A and B are shown apart, each in its own frame.
Chain A
Amino acid sequence: MSGRFAELHLDQVQRAFGDTVALKGMDLTIKGGEFVALLGPSGCGKSTALNCLAGLLPLTGGRITLDGKRIDDLPPEKRGFGMVFQNYALFPHMSVRRNIGFGLSMRRTGKAELNRRVDEAVRLVQLEEHQHKFPAQLSGGQQQRVAIARAIVLEPPLVLMDEPLSNLDAALRLEMRTEIRRLHQSLGLTTVYVTHDQEEALALADRLVVLRLGEVQQVGSPEEVYAHPVNRYVAGFMGYRNMIPVTVGSQEGEHATVHTEAGVKLVGVKREELGSEAVAAVRPEDFAVVTEIGANTIEAVVEIVEYHGREQAVEARLRDGTQLHVRTNSRLAPGDTITLKVPAERVLVFA
């Protein structure tokens, strides 16, 4: 089973382990050529979803169809999806070349064809110098390249990646991220990518699926999810680090006027139907330090200042005790009382 497909459809896919349901009826349609990221913290069901797709975990409910054909009852070896494992899972007793050629030799590919395709894959991930080494002789980044080459050499209809960068150090992670994006752009292989790192997901994916406790929270393009999170959970994941507890005052169209516990009035964008209690979500970089108290300003006392080069990361506290995270160019010192201003369209109000 290889080549392109038009649509992979997950229909109410469910997976339970005993009494705990790791994935609660997931619906998702993946189009051929797409790069989809499953995003969420550990325990959100993203790896479970990936293993269900790969066939490594049988479903306990629902179905998966590829262009209308049911595949969830097929074992992994019959699905022919490539998978990159978090720990790479390279075969330690085989050279880099034999690792990469493993899938081809299982398919009884002819020797000339096998060598040609392995050569091509080795070149694609720039491992020419290391192709005769064993996995234990390679660095983490090189092992990662072998794992990717091994998965894509078969040109599988779907490539599954399970947090492939989480074992690498920060600099290498950025480099490999670009590499993965480059491979996807040049080969156009449909990819499902699991990560807990929102930055990685935003950078790589055409479409994000945010999961929480086994349930899909939001599906959308990186821009959509980043700019318009549907609930406070997705907002928290998309960099809205400040969740200020507020009581709801008046609501007018898409705006809501809310009050902090200390009585400060804020105007924000209403993202959900609101009761009397709500949270106002603000990104640290959306606060501006101003000199005058006015509309949508709030007073806080600086507690901790971290120097980050162009800007400072500041932890401040409101009069009612709520902690705020602020990023600013202004030079502040602990103990300073500051006035922070945030534009109304940058405040999201969630139930």
Chain B
Amino acid sequence: MTAVLERASLKHRLAEKGVDRVLWLLLPGAVFVILLFVYPFLYGLQLSFQPKGGGSPFQNYITFFQDDYLAETVWITLWLGLPAALFNVLASIPIAFRMRGRFRGKRALTTLLVIPITLGTVLTAEGLLAFFGPTGWFNRILMALGADEPAKLTHNYWGVLFSLIITGFPFAFLLTLSYLSGIDPTLEQAAATLGASKRQRFRTITMPLLAPGLAVTFCLSFVLAFSVFPSAVMVGNPAGETHVMSIAAYETALRDNDFAMGSAIAMLMALVMLIVIGVVLIWRTTLYRGATGGKG
């Protein structure tokens, strides 16, 4: 009996000091994060400052920005990642909006919208090639309708963008749907009884409450799209218009055996992502971020 009491009181004393022993369960996770993320990251960071050919520690970074073929990858990747993320977030709003209520076939439709997650980029790329390729269904229909030549939608920018949209949309949609479901529907009803039209309700109630969630959704969608690699190779033009940063890093490190330069490109990739996320999150701080339901 006394042992039990003492044990309870120890737990109590620890809790008083803010120590929760359940949190020790985080330890294995923390070890893995350190081994598999922090260590490789720091290793890559210091490696990037040791250029293969010697010289200034910043030589790799200088080379990157002096070599147009490499420097260009930043814009190429942004030009893919930003529109893809933006499209995915914007497209998921009206669909998520419609999907809030109960209606026949809701589950089937949700499944259909989410299935692309399970496909993986390779299968998506194959499908894109078969559908949008020069002899694919899309072009056959186009030709049958009287087009002079097949539209070029694969092995270029568009192929990669389509692939990013197909694989990225389900994420954006699921996140947006959960943020939207968190908004108390009686708020909109209240706005309606106060004379707000559908459009006014969306603008004054739903959108301000949803925007912080959309910012997060955009960041995650962007990170997914920015690190595009397989589809840029398979349905893009990896030597030209879809020569994205991850391909540049891969080629430099594993084809040219310049790990230091490859690390520098990877670091720059991380930096660009951080800048975009930073800008979005700073904008997010200007929004209302409190509760979106219940008693307000």
CB within 8 Å of B: which residues of A? 54-56, 75-77, 79-83, 85, 87-93, 102-103, 106-107, 134-136, 140, 143, 150-151, 154, 160, 167
- Give residues 197-226 of B contacting A (CB, 8 Å): 197, 200, 204-205, 208-209
Residues from chain A with Cβ under 8 Å of B190 in the complex:
83, 85, 89-91, 150
- Give residues 30-48 of B contacting A (CB, 8 Å): none
Does B189 contact A76, Cβ atoms closer than 8 Å? yes
* CA distance in complex: A92, B292 (Å): 6
Does B191 contact A87, Cβ atoms closer than 8 Å? no
Known contacts A76-B193, A81-B193; is A92 also within 8 Å of B288 by CB? yes
* CA distance in complex: A154, B192 (Å): 13
* Interface residue count on the B side (C-beta < 8 Å): 24
Does A91 contact B191, Cβ atoms closer than 8 Å? yes
Q: How far is the CB of B6 from chain A (nearest CB, A)?
A: 39
27 contacting pairs across A/B (C-beta < 8 A):
A56-B192, A75-B192, A76-B189, A77-B193, A80-B195, A83-B193, A85-B190, A89-B184, A89-B186, A89-B189, A90-B190, A91-B205, A91-B296, A92-B296, A93-B209, A102-B194, A102-B196, A106-B194, A106-B195, A134-B290, A134-B296, A136-B290, A140-B295, A143-B295, A143-B296, A154-B195, A160-B193
Residues from chain A with Cβ under 8 Å of B294 in the complex:
87
In the complex, given contacts A56-B192, A77-B194, what are 5 additional A-B residue pairs having Cβ atoms less than 8 angstroms apart?
Answer: A56-B189, A76-B193, A92-B296, A102-B196, A143-B295
Does B295 contact A154, Cβ atoms closer than 8 Å? no
Residues from chain A with Cβ under 8 Å of B193 in the complex:
54-56, 76-77, 79, 81-83, 151, 160
In the complex, B99 has a CB within 8 A of chain A? no
Among B187, B197, B200, residue most surrounded by chain A Cβ atoms (within 10 Å):
B187
Does B197 contact A87, Cβ atoms closer than 8 Å? no
A79: nearest chain-B partner, CB-CB: B193
Does B192 contact A76, Cβ atoms closer than 8 Å? yes
Known contacts A136-B290, A154-B194; is A85 also within 8 Å of B189 by CB? yes
Q: How far is the CB of A157 from chain B (nearest CB, A)?
A: 12
Q: How far is the CB of A93 from chain B (nearest CB, A)?
A: 4
Does B186 contact A85, Cβ atoms closer than 8 Å? yes
Q: How far is the CB of B288 from chain A (nearest CB, A)?
A: 4
Does A136 contact B291, Cβ atoms closer than 8 Å? yes
Residues from chain A with Cβ under 8 Å of B291 in the complex:
92, 136
- Give residues 271-296 of B contacting A (CB, 8 Å): 288, 290-292, 294-296
Residues from chain A with Cβ under 8 Å of B192 in the complex:
55-56, 75-77
Residues from chain A with Cβ under 8 Å of B295 in the complex:
87-88, 90, 135, 140, 143, 167
* CA distance in complex: A188, B47 (Å): 79
Residues from chain B with Cβ under 8 Å of A76 in the complex:
189, 192-193
B294: nearest chain-A partner, CB-CB: A87
Among B193, B196, B197, residue most surrounded by chain A Cβ atoms (within 10 Å):
B193
Among A54, A102, A136, residue most surrounded by chain B Cβ atoms (within 10 Å):
A102
Residues from chain A with Cβ under 8 Å of B189 in the complex:
54, 56, 76, 83, 85, 89
* CA distance in complex: A140, B295 (Å): 8
Among B184, B192, B194, B209, residue most surrounded by chain A Cβ atoms (within 10 Å):
B194
* CA distance in complex: A140, B186 (Å): 17
Residues from chain A with Cβ under 8 Å of B208 in the complex:
93
Does B194 contact A150, Cβ atoms closer than 8 Å? yes
* CA distance in complex: A150, B187 (Å): 13
Q: How far is the CB of B294 from chain A (nearest CB, A)?
A: 6
B197: nearest chain-A partner, CB-CB: A77
Residues from chain A with Cβ under 8 Å of B292 in the complex:
92
Residues from chain B with Cβ under 8 Å of A103 in the complex:
194-195
* CA distance in complex: A136, B205 (Å): 16
Known contacts A76-B189, A136-B290; is A88 also within 8 Å of B194 by CB? no
Residues from chain B with Cβ under 8 Å of A136 in the complex:
290-291, 296
Q: How far is the CB of B127 from chain A (nearest CB, A)?
A: 40
A-B interface, 9 closest residue pairs, ranked by CB to CB distance from nearest: A135-B296, A93-B288, A103-B194, A89-B190, A76-B192, A89-B186, A83-B193, A90-B296, A92-B296
Among B191, B294, B296, residue most surrounded by chain A Cβ atoms (within 10 Å):
B296
Q: How far is the CB of A279 from chain B (nearest CB, A)?
A: 40
